[in-house]
Amino acid sequence: MNRTFIRFAVVLLTLVVAIAPVRADPAPAWNELLEQVDDAGLRTTLANSITIGLITDRAEFEATIARSHRRTDRTGRTGAPPSRGGVSDEIGRRCAGLAGKDVDAIKVTIDGRGRLFAPLAARLPSSYQAAVALAARFDPKVGTPELKDHEREIDAYLATIADDPVIKHALAVTGTRLDDLKANWFGAGAGFEHVICGEMKKTSVSGYHWWFKFYTDETAGRARLGQNIDHAGDTGIFTGRFTWDPDGNGPLPMLVKSKGGFTIGNSAQVLLALGHIAIETARKGNNVPSAVQFNANINGRAYTWQLYTLGGTIRSLYPICGSGDSAHSFDGVDAVYYDLEEDGLRALGADGSLTVH
């Protein structure tokens, strides 16, 4: 057999192998794998991720579980998880001490003539500008992995509020440290960026739940009030439609928030304290639910708050109903992974960043 024929045969065999259909691996037995996951919140997350196509094989399934375990229950607490209603009640009890402790709360006048807020007459506490300055460092687009880039600025900001009464209360009632609060708010869920700064999801506003961020953007002409939807007679809360231009005259589009909300007159740090108490209380029993509601009174007004978590950290926190001292009563809320603001499903990157799919 001559060498030319051998070479031809080898080339032909290579082509046949290259174009031959590759047999796909059989789909994993998802139900059996999910039944082996003890954490109900994680199980829901995994099931939804499988449905939407974020997890497509067993390797991705196991990698997601491993990442979740590395981020869950940093304090090492164990024990049977309490009932969801019990968690909500306990969060409310621990948050009760926040009322009256927000020393940086300020009196705000509602404009009501095409603008939400009248110009502030009082001198602002330094914590307001510190929070806004940190917020300005974040890219408004959802899912940008930039937390590590701002590590020094984040630490500097937290140092300015470390002795604030609401922060000290939150750490005391949860038996945690400032590093734990940092991990909760600046972790995989990017809670600070979502809640305090506001984020951009295509042409929609995502998050944006601090009143003073709206005040600064409205004053600069970057935010405009739309139709007020709920709580029209309550000057302590806004729930309505608005638009936001994240970069002024820059290339980013004008964004719309069909229905957003925030309490009015409170500091950023009381929101950080509120979320920290909620997630650390829910972390009991090595279990962090994907979502939980609770009642809390800040600055003399009680509301029902919605907390969403991601990877054992805070994703979103905002008031949803209630007024006065008789906020919404409930037995609990089912753990869900879909954010009510339609943020969509997200997966955790290997470095702890938030990756949008």
**pTM score, whole prediction:** 0.71
Task: For residues 224 and 90, give the distance between their C-alpha atoms in angstroms, rounded to a whole number.
Answer: 38
Q: Would you list the domain boundaries of the chain? A: 28-71, 84-356
Distance CA(62)–CA(82), nearest Å, equals 27
Per-residue pLDDT of the chain (357 residues; tens, 9 = 90+): 555 544 544 444 444 334 344 344 467 888 888 888 877 767 877 775 675 455 777 877 877 777 666 545 443 433 333 445 688 999 999 999 998 999 999 999 988 778 899 999 878 999 999 999 999 999 888 777 777 789 999 999 999 999 999 999 999 999 999 999 999 999 989 999 999 999 998 899 999 999 999 999 999 999 998 876 665 677 888 888 999 998 888 888 889 998 888 999 999 999 999 999 999 999 875 678 889 999 999 878 889 999 999 989 999 999 986 544 344 444 333 332 333 333 433 333 333 333 332
Beta bridge partners, 292, equal 307
